[in-house]
Structures are given as structure tokens and as C-alpha cells.
Amino acid sequence: MSFLDSLPFDRLLWLVPIFFALHNLEEAPFMENWSKRLPLKIHPTVSTRQFVIAVTFLTLGGFLVAYFGLEYLANQTGYLIVLGIQAILLVNAFVPHIASTIRFRMYSPGVVTAILMTLPFSFYLFRRALSESVLNRAQFWILLGIAPFAMVVFALISLQLGKALDR
């Protein structure tokens, strides 16, 4: 990842919302059909339009948070906020994407970018953040501990917003 090594840390963090957007682009077109085909209902079926609205708000939110954190705070706090987004994406790669692909033995929308992009980038980013003392181990574990709860809250809010705006 020599290209990534050449990027200053604050510029590297801009890849977080960019990769998030690419992940959402993989997910959006397939979510409705996937959720209808599930042998076990893990969540209500969401229409493609509702899901696109939801992930559009999440993606824009990711860019806005990154912009605010990196351009206005431009310090440890700003970095931690953006690293928090990546922690959510790391958890999201495992649950639901990888877990549901294994459990249901079928493609889960988002699993390709989760495996090929989110996981390697997350490991690289967090290793680099730790090695450059942008993040310490305690902060890393706190981010990972908060991430599942934040992921659920943001997902529920955005899906409700998608349903409300789809009427």
C-alpha cells in the first residue's frame, strides 16, 4: 500500500467517506431483492428507493462529518471522529455482511467491498493511526465498543428517514 503510505494522515482519512460511498453503491441496487429472499427475516423488507434515500443521507453525513472533523477541528478530536466512522464500517463488514453471507450461503449486498476494501483499509488505517500515535490502544477499543451501537442507531434512523421520504 505504498500509495497510502505516501499520504499524510489527514489526507488518508478522506478515503473513509469515499470508500463508504463506494460500499453504499454496491449495497443499494441489491438490498430489496436480497431482503425478500432471506430464509429468515432479520429486518423488514426495505424498497430500493427507501434504501437509496437512507444510504444517501448516511453517505452525505459521512462526508460532512469528515469535512468538519478534518477541516475545522484538524486535530486529535477530528481524527478520532473520522476514525469512529471507520470503526463503524469495520464492524459493519463483519455484521451484517460477512456474517449473513456465511449464515445464508448467498451474496449479501456490500460483502464484496466489505472484504476487498473495508477490511484491508481498516486494518491499514488503524495500524497506521496506532503507529503514528494518532490513536492509542484504549481509544481504539473504545471506538470498536461504541461502533456496533452507533451502527444500529444510524441505520435505524436513516431507514426510517428513507421510509418517511418515500411516501
Highest mean pLDDT among 11-20, 31-40, 41-50: 11-20
Q: pTM to 2 decimals?
A: 0.93
Tell me what the mean pLDDT of segment 130-156 comes to. 97
Residue 38 has pLDDT above 90, yes or no: no
pLDDT value for 1:
62
List all residues 6 or more positions away from 66 whose beta carbon is below 8 Å from its beta carbon. Answer: 13, 14, 16, 17, 82, 85
- Kindly give the residue spans of alpha helices, DSSP state H, lying in 28-136: 31-37, 48-67, 76-92, 99-104, 111-113, 119-131
Closest CA to 108 of 124, 119, 92: 92
Tell me what the mean pLDDT of segment 68-78 comes to. 86
Cell numbers standing for residue 85: 466512522
Residue 98 has pLDDT above 70, yes or no: yes
Chain centre distance of CA 159: 15
Tell me what the mean pLDDT of segment 84-99 comes to. 97
pLDDT value for 76:
87
State the greatest distance between any 2 C-alpha atoms of the chain, in Å, as a whole number.
49
Instruction: Name the pLDDT band for 73 (thresholds 50, 70, 90).
Output: confident
pLDDT value for 58:
96
